[in-house]
């Protein structure tokens, strides 16, 4: 296998994290309202109420920040395209598989090039141009020289709860996987600290 490029896989985007934190903070300000439905923040006795100390449980979901796919040859378009397999903003863990085929008779290797992008819609972003994506890694699977054009090849991409990307290629009874480790993953302690910071 070839050495992979440094992946830029994150489960959070800085701008999105700030906006989400503000939204969580706003939605957890449990302000007391008076019995007559008067101005929020005023108790029945007419005193201004502090934010209620109990805000309930906050569930922080881990999602994939980038869409992941592989480069394939499109015979109809006569060019390389990126075939996206799993899409951004899906909850982790997630795994899906793409069905492809051997390109030519006697092929002895399959080079799997993994790309990330920001496409969100599986309908419109299933097949996209390579220049709209970023390559984050690649590996090669050796296959027998008696391979034939059109023989099925399956490629799955999994993003686990740590946001590691595991790409697996299967041809006949040959299976090979390649893992790209996520960067910037928050630990449980960091998540607890962030929650305390948001809630005060």
| pLDDT value for 196 | 72
pLDDT tens digits along 76-110: 999 999 999 999 999 999 999 999 999 999 999 99
Is the pTM value of this prediction over 0.75? Answer: no
> H/E/C letters for each residue in 88-146?
CCCECCEEEEEEEECCCCCCCEEEEEEEEECCCCCCCCCEECHHHCEEEEEEEEECCCC
For residue 36, name the pLDDT band (cuts at 50, 70, 90). very low
| pLDDT value for 27 | 46
* Domain regions of the chain by residue span: 14-61+186-199, 67-180
- What CATH fold (topology level) applies to the domain 67-180? Substrate Binding Domain Of DNAk; Chain A, domain 1 (2.60.34)
């Amino acid at each position: 296998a070839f050495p992979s490029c440094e992946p830029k896989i994150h489960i959070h985007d800085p701008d999105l994290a700030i906006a989400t934190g503000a939204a969580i903070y706003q939605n957890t300000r449990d302000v007391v309202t008076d019995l007559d439905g008067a101005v929020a923040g005023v108790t029945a006795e007419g005193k201004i109420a502090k934010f209620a100390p109990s805000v309930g449980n906050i569930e922080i979901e881990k999602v994939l920040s980038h869409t992941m796919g592989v480069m394939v040859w499109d015979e109809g378009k006569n060019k390389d395209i990126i075939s996206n397999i799993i899409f951004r903003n899906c909850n982790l863990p997630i795994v899906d598989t793409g069905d492809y085929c051997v390109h030519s008779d006697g092929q002895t290797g399959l080079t799997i090039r993994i790309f990330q992008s920001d496409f969100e819609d599986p309908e419109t972003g299933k097949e996209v141009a390579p220049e709209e994506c970023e390559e984050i890694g690649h590996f090669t699977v050796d296959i027998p020289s008696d391979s034939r054009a059109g023989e099925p090849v399956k490629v799955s991409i999994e993003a686990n709860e740590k946001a590691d990307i595991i790409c697996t290629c299967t041809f006949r009874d040959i299976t090979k996987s390649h893992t790209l480790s996520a960067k910037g993953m928050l630990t449980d302690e960091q998540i607890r600290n962030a929650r305390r910071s948001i809630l005060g």
